[in-house]
Structure 1
Amino acid sequence: MCCFLWFLTPWSSSSFPLLLLPVLCRQIGLEGVQASVCSRWDAQSNKGLSLDGDVIIGGLFNVYHLPSFTEQDFTKKPYYEPCTGLFSIALFLSCFSLNSVTLKLMYAMAFAVEEINRNNSLLQGVKLGYRMLDSCGRYPWALQSALSLIGGDAHSCNSTSAPLIIGPGFSSAGVILSRILGPLSVPLISYSATCPCLSDRHKFPNFFRTIPSDIYQARAIARLVFHFKWTWIGAVIANDDYGHSALQVFQEEIQGKRICLEFIETVRWETIMDDVKKTAITIQASTARVILIFCWYIGVIPLFLELTEKNVTDRQFLASEAWSTRDALLQNLAISKVASGVVGVAIRSSPIPGFEHYLRSLNPYNHPNDVFVRELWEKEFGCRSLQKSSFPPCSGTESLKEVQSVFTDVSQLRWTYNVYLAVYAAAHALHSLLSCPNRDSPTNNSSTCSSAKHIKPRELLQQLNKLNISTPHGEMFYFQGADIPAKFDIVNWQKTPEGSLKLVLVGYVDEFNVHLNESVIQWNTGSSEVPVSVCSKSCPPGTRMANRKGEPVCCFDCIPCGEGEISNITGSLHCKSCPSEFWSNTERTVCIRRQMDFLSFNETLGITLTTVAVSGVIVTTAVFVVFLYYRQTPMVRANNSELSFLLLLSLKLCFLCSLVFIGRPSVWSCRFQQAAFGISFVLCVSCLLVKTMVVLAAFRSARPGAAALMKWFGPGLQRGSVCLFTSVQIIICIIWLSLSPPVPQPDLDVPGLKVSLKCAMASVVGFSLVLGYIGLLACTCLLLAFLARKLPDNFNEAKLITFSMLIFCAVWVAFVPAYVSSPGKYVVAVEIFAILASSYGLLFCIFAPKCFIILLRPEKNTKKHLMGR
């Protein structure tokens, strides 16, 4: 059936069906068909390295020259140029014929296999072999070589096929090989294919790699940006899947982190010179000081040359893995001024003990069948060893032991170490598959144990999926689907005395964590100070960021925090409100406990009010003394001396109660001050009210038939009336202060660092009743006094009471709005002022005229004068 398929294929002239037939035939058991096509394989045999063994693992490396690839339009038979001449990406620039880097990868695989064969604990009793072929970096030849490896040697149909392949090196070849070999379950372990697409286990279930996906390097670079607080950067990407996918992941990582891309420039291979000129102009005009480049290194060189021409040397470049470690860039003196200070992520480097000795011990005389060593000899020493060529013959004393070249340099083993890891992964999977418990037991069922001669790729694939081992370096190694845990080196390009650049390891990224030795980083400025790349400088503590309309979030203004708000970090998005007991300091950076503010005896206002109150007490006392001394005179006797003395006493209490309002409020002071105020003023107004009633009663009793009125309104009833009016206020105060008394409480609703500590009215109703009752008595007194103002008398006291009550009522009517609107401690000052003003008004309006007559007009202080009308 396999042969029948071959005859039907339209590519009968091509080698691909010839290569595929033995593979399919081996898979389904038609071994006889395989022999009929063996003779057709010889034309496709490639140079390679091989080692016989019980189990053969395959290797695909890009060794030979990469011919120009022609797209097939299928209008004629497909044709591919033969893969000849040694391949090197550096060939485009350096014209070297031998790719020393790729050659080192092949010998790393050979070294690892030989090291495993010497290991007594790994694959004991089973010799591991290898067969490495060229893939030329293009999928047609990669497919040809892969099918050759899994189908058996091209020259021997009975040779052992490889159940596993180390490679390929490129993602495009990995996609095709995985899809074709997937149904056969042949595992592929790539050492340098980084396309994120290959992580899809549904599409590529047989693909593994020892290099992190491009997704992880984009995330690693994003973490570097976070670490150095760069928020305004430019991006240059290759116009292919590599550039666009890496940029997409990077943008996803920085989303919501207030990091912005000022520009994104793309570079196409087809129009590279035009693109780099445009990109260089954009970089030169940009305000971003950090430029991220996701591009192949063959596009970075012309860009750096263009920037050098424009003398753009003040930019810090972030390098992706594709160019961060390229010698072609590091050794290019023309771009060293621009490229100095580059920081980038690189495939992790790890030493391989004994590998350098292995490389330096290679020579064509000990390996006569190794064509690569012979060609290496021609390159390094310019002589031929065994084969015929145009070079002069070698002397036989040539050796790599003292040669310093890319091939012998093991200081930075990156892809090389990935190959080394891939071989060990394959060896451990084989070890798990071939390790059969109780193999020598008579009861052992051999059908459950795999044989080295009959390794099934599917079983090997299963072992790789559950691989969890310790590498020779002691680190844990396992596959997460197709990938391994992401680890990158962070490298820095630093100038050497010769003017070239050297690669310095400055840290590493372990999955999500960045570890840096910042002290050894040399930036583009030549100093160790981290460059700043922001659209707007970070807002200092005490301010917040406010976005500018129509601009990216990285461009903003700094707005000072409002009163009572703080921001204590740099670059704060919002200001935080302080707790009610705290307030912001002047700088708006910290909340400090608010200071309790109250009217004290030590401040100017307190001293002034105290002085006025004490003066009122002194004046009242002086008046009391005058009245007491002249108590037998007609002026004192005619104005109800008993009520006058009681009124003076109540006025003295009014002056004194104002002092209770000054000082730090306490529980008892808050209760006492309101009670003292309410009772003192009621006593005062009650005396005036009774005085007014006495005047009215006295004049009414002079009328016919009203003589008994004065008899009923005698001294006893006057004293009783005053006590009755005052008792009502006492009862109101007792009920109010018992149920809901005022309490000392800071006025936290008022903004400011200083908080007024005042007696808060827990019950406005109680306070209103106290004031209302005083107002009721005062209005009644005013009304009665007004009615008695024109009564015939040389000295009509009703007029004085009328004026005093007008002043009293005016003061307390004005008090209400002033009390409500006054801030902080000035509320207390307003109340004290009202108390003092009304007290002085009563004192002067009622007693000043009397004292004037008593002291200065004694001739008018006679009964005759008082009874003159």
Structure 2
Amino acid sequence: MQSIMHHLRFVPGLEEYEEAYAWVDKRAPRPCTNGSWCSSNQLCRECQAFVPHSMPRLAAFSMSSAYNTYRAVYTVAHGLHQLLGCTSGACSRGRVRPWQLLEQIPKVNFLLHKDTVTFNDNGGSFSGYSIIAWDWSGPNWTFTFVGSSTWSPVRLDINETKIQWHRKDNQVPKSVCSSDCLEGHQHVVVGFQHCCFECVPCEAGTFLNKSDLYSCQPCGKEEWAPEGSQTCFPRTVVYLTWHERISWVLLAGNSLLLLLLIGTAGLFAWHLDTPVVRSAGGQLCFLMLGSLAAGSCSLYGFFGEPTLPTCLLRQALFALGFAIFLSCLTVRSFQLVIIFKFSTKLPMFQRAWVQNHGAGLFVLISSMTQLLICLTWLAVWTPLPTREYRRFPQLVMLECTEFNSLGFVLAFAYNGLLSVSAFACSYLGKDLPENYNEAKCVTFCLLLNFVSWIAFFTVASVYQGKYLPAVNMLAALSSLSSGFSGYFLPKCYVILCRSDLNSTEHFQASIQDYTRRRGFTRPVGSCGAERGGQACKPSVA
């Protein structure tokens, strides 16, 4: 059994006084009679107290009680001294009420034989305590000092070797309230006692510091921690790097497309005066190839750590380049429909279209519209490189803020509108002469464009991981490749492998067959033989 008591202190001179008084009483002891009112602890002559020499420990504890009384008397005296204003020698007040003294006592602060007497805000005394173990051996009992506590400084000292536990092998008993928690579990106190608690694991993103077992602390912004962790770990910074396998595949595909665009431009420049190049648009083909090449160059910005230039250019440049290509494709299909279907029905419209350079004007206005949208996008909703922390607890995603803006939606919605326009114009020309009938190829490339972007936005709605830029680039590369393969590859095949189809006679025969089937009396577009079959150049180009 253990108990707590105030530190053992002695009243100066009291022990010597007791010993002297006991020596006097030994000279003439007078035992108590049966009817005496004196207690067993007193001499009967004058009922004076004495110290039993057979119990020295009890004498010590009596001395401790005496010191507490001694201490209390001095406390009251100091309270009266301050209350009466006696600090200067003469007291300034003559009467004190008991309640006034009661309020003054907790304010005292003095030194009593190296013992500081003071009180806390609740009126409790700042005093040290001794921890005592009671030991019974049969009818006898003794006390053992096993530890102490002090308040200045606050300290608790326990000598565990002096404690005798009544368990096997002197084992220390465990608390019957709560057992120790596992690592990473905080102590949630139940009730008012800190020894009674529940073990709750720290949430993900927090950790339990060993210096404070009662609260989990959050990790830093660049750190993370799983549930029930005692430490934080650095986050992994991720982005689409140049040396990954998927990057190699995309880079190879994009580089191949860029080489094909450059090669096609050289091939068309070499055969610029041939009917196939004229029917494809002549010099307009170079603008289409250049716009596809610009879009292809923008895709290199998806690799590596995002920077301000790559965030500004990669989406905007692709959107502008593909818009120019779609504008040329739309006006090219529209011109063929006008020449072959509406030249005789709406001759005034065709003449005004040709005289006012309608094709070039449409491409310019359409391209400038997309350019204005992109500039507004970059100015108002500027795409910036950012570090994203919320999506994955253990990762830091390096990306651009381009998807979270209205400008991105407007730019791609405008390209979608141009795609629909090109599709409609090519569909109207599905029954044109074979050499001018591009409906199947254009329809294929536009359908692939639609499927690519629908797939991308579907994936982006459910996946926001490291390879989302790769999915974005794949959709853009599919759109560019479909546009090139659907429009230019058939013409490259004719130039390189079927030179017999790349002749004026073949094109004239195709036009005359179409006019006979449609019931025209004169070849469409006033081609005729008067210009040696070259009249189709201004009308069709």
Q: Which amino acid aligns with 2:62?
A: W
Q: Deviations over 1:773-796 (max 9, x none)?
A: 111111101000011112122452
Q: Deviations over 1:496-533 (max 9, x none)?
A: 9xx99761241135599553245665452699996532
Q: Which amino acid aligns with 1:651?
A: L
Check conservation: 1:424, 1:471, Cα contact below 8 A. no
Partner of 1:789: 430
Q: Distance in 2 between matches of 1:642 and 1:472?
A: 110
Between 823-832 and 586-595, the greater mean CA deviation after superposition:
586-595
Q: Distance in 2 between matches of 1:369 and 1:690?
A: 139
Partner of 2:514: none
Partner of 2:483: 842
Check conservation: 2:241, 2:304, Cα contact below 8 A. yes
Secondary structure of 1:682's aligned partner: helix
Cα offset, 1:345, TM superposition = 1.0
Q: Distance in 1 between matches of 2:277 and 2:321?
A: 23
Cα offset, 1:576, TM superposition = 5.5
Q: Deviations over 1:344-377 (max 9, x none)?
A: 313431245666666666776774344379xxxx
Partner of 1:474: 114
Residues 625 and 532 of structure 1: CA distance in aligned 2, closer, same or farther (over 3 Å): farther
Partner of 2:504: 863
* Residues 1:617 and 2:253 aligned together: no
Q: 2:443 aligns with which of 788, 802, 809?
A: 802
Q: Distance in 2 between matches of 1:405 and 1:527?
A: 37
Partner of 2:175: 533
* Residues 1:349 and 2:8 aligned together: yes
Cα offset, 1:475, TM superposition = 2.2
Q: Distance in 2 between matches of 1:583 and 1:365?
A: 81
Q: Which amino acid aligns with 2:175?
A: S
Q: Distance in 2 between matches of 1:642 and 1:654?
A: 19
Choose between structure 1 and 2: higher helix proportion: 2
Secondary structure of 1:793's aligned partner: coil
Consecutive unaligned residues of structure 2, counting only runs of 5 or more, are 33-44, 46-51, 81-89, 511-541
Q: Distance in 2 between matches of 1:409 and 1:577?
A: 55
Partner of 1:219: none
Q: 2:184 aligns with which of 522, 530, 542?
A: 542
Higher relative contact order (CA 8 A, sep 6+): 2
Residues 506 and 850 of structure 1: CA distance in aligned 2, closer, same or farther (over 3 Å): same
Residues 569 and 420 of structure 1: CA distance in aligned 2, closer, same or farther (over 3 Å): closer
Partner of 1:422: 69
Q: Which amino acid aligns with 1:537?
A: S
Check conservation: 2:146, 2:160, Cα contact below 8 A. no
Q: Distance in 2 between matches of 1:406 and 1:674?
A: 101
**Equivalent residues in 2 for 1:435-446 (5 A)?**
none
Residues 417 and 825 of structure 1: CA distance in aligned 2, closer, same or farther (over 3 Å): closer
* Residues 1:721 and 2:362 aligned together: yes
Residues 715 and 591 of structure 1: CA distance in aligned 2, closer, same or farther (over 3 Å): farther
Q: Which amino acid aligns with 1:637?
A: R
Partner of 2:35: none
Q: Which amino acid aligns with 2:363?
A: V
Q: Deviations over 1:370-419 (max 9, x none)?
A: 4379xxxxxxxxxxxxx9xxxxxxxxxxxxxxxx9544558x72222322
TM-score, L = length of structure 1? 0.47
Secondary structure of 1:414's aligned partner: helix
* Residues 1:755 and 2:402 aligned together: no
In angstroms, what is the RMSD of aligned CA positions? 4.9
Partner of 1:817: 458
Consecutive unaligned residues of structure 1, counting only runs of 5 or more, are 1-341, 374-386, 388-403, 434-443, 449-457
Q: Distance in 2 between matches of 1:473 and 1:713?
A: 118
Cα offset, 1:731, TM superposition = 1.5
Secondary structure of 1:624's aligned partner: helix
Q: 1:644 aligns with which of 285, 304, 309?
A: 285
Residues 570 and 865 of structure 1: CA distance in aligned 2, closer, same or farther (over 3 Å): farther
Residues 534 and 655 of structure 1: CA distance in aligned 2, closer, same or farther (over 3 Å): farther
Check conservation: 1:425, 1:464, Cα contact below 8 A. no
**Equivalent residues in 2 for 1:102-251 (5 A)?**
none
Q: Deviations over 1:457-477 (max 9, x none)?
A: x99999999787978733245
Q: Distance in 1 between matches of 2:352 and 2:74?
A: 132
Q: Distance in 1 between matches of 2:436 and 2:155?
A: 100
Q: 1:490 aligns with which of 131, 146, 171?
A: 131
Q: Distance in 1 between matches of 2:178 and 2:342?
A: 93
Q: Distance in 2 between matches of 1:521 and 1:510?
A: 23
Q: Deviations over 1:735-759 (max 9, x none)?
A: 2322332222333332322132322
Q: Distance in 2 between matches of 1:849 and 1:419?
A: 116
Check conservation: 2:203, 2:226, Cα contact below 8 A. no
Q: Distance in 2 between matches of 1:806 and 1:465?
A: 93
Q: Which amino acid aligns with 1:809?
A: F
Partner of 2:205: 564
Check conservation: 1:567, 1:590, Cα contact below 8 A. yes
Check conservation: 2:494, 2:501, Cα contact below 8 A. yes
Partner of 1:262: none
Residues 761 and 712 of structure 1: CA distance in aligned 2, closer, same or farther (over 3 Å): closer
Residues 516 and 528 of structure 1: CA distance in aligned 2, closer, same or farther (over 3 Å): farther
Residues 777 and 500 of structure 1: CA distance in aligned 2, closer, same or farther (over 3 Å): same
Q: Distance in 2 between matches of 1:428 and 1:842?
A: 100
Cα offset, 1:611, TM superposition = 2.5
Check conservation: 1:694, 1:713, Cα contact below 8 A. no
Secondary structure of 2:424's aligned partner: helix
Q: 1:588 aligns with which of 229, 240, 253?
A: 229
Check conservation: 1:700, 1:706, Cα contact below 8 A. no
Q: Distance in 2 between matches of 1:557 and 1:351?
A: 47
Cα offset, 1:603, TM superposition = 3.2
Q: Distance in 1 between matches of 2:369 and 2:282?
A: 24
Partner of 2:493: 852
Check conservation: 1:683, 1:722, Cα contact below 8 A. yes
Check conservation: 1:494, 1:502, Cα contact below 8 A. yes
Q: Distance in 2 between matches of 1:431 and 1:769?
A: 86
Partner of 1:601: 242
Partner of 1:507: 148
Q: Which amino acid aligns with 2:364?
A: C
Q: Distance in 2 between matches of 1:462 and 1:811?
A: 90
Check conservation: 1:523, 1:529, Cα contact below 8 A. no
Residues 529 and 518 of structure 1: CA distance in aligned 2, closer, same or farther (over 3 Å): farther
Check conservation: 1:465, 1:479, Cα contact below 8 A. no
**Equivalent residues in 2 for 1:294-313 (5 A)?**
none
Residues 534 and 422 of structure 1: CA distance in aligned 2, closer, same or farther (over 3 Å): closer
Partner of 2:405: 764
Check conservation: 1:360, 1:408, Cα contact below 8 A. no
Check conservation: 2:312, 2:382, Cα contact below 8 A. yes
Check conservation: 1:742, 1:760, Cα contact below 8 A. yes
Partner of 2:85: none
Check conservation: 1:685, 1:774, Cα contact below 8 A. yes
Residues 574 and 751 of structure 1: CA distance in aligned 2, closer, same or farther (over 3 Å): farther
Check conservation: 1:486, 1:510, Cα contact below 8 A. yes
Secondary structure of 2:488's aligned partner: helix
Check conservation: 2:381, 2:405, Cα contact below 8 A. no
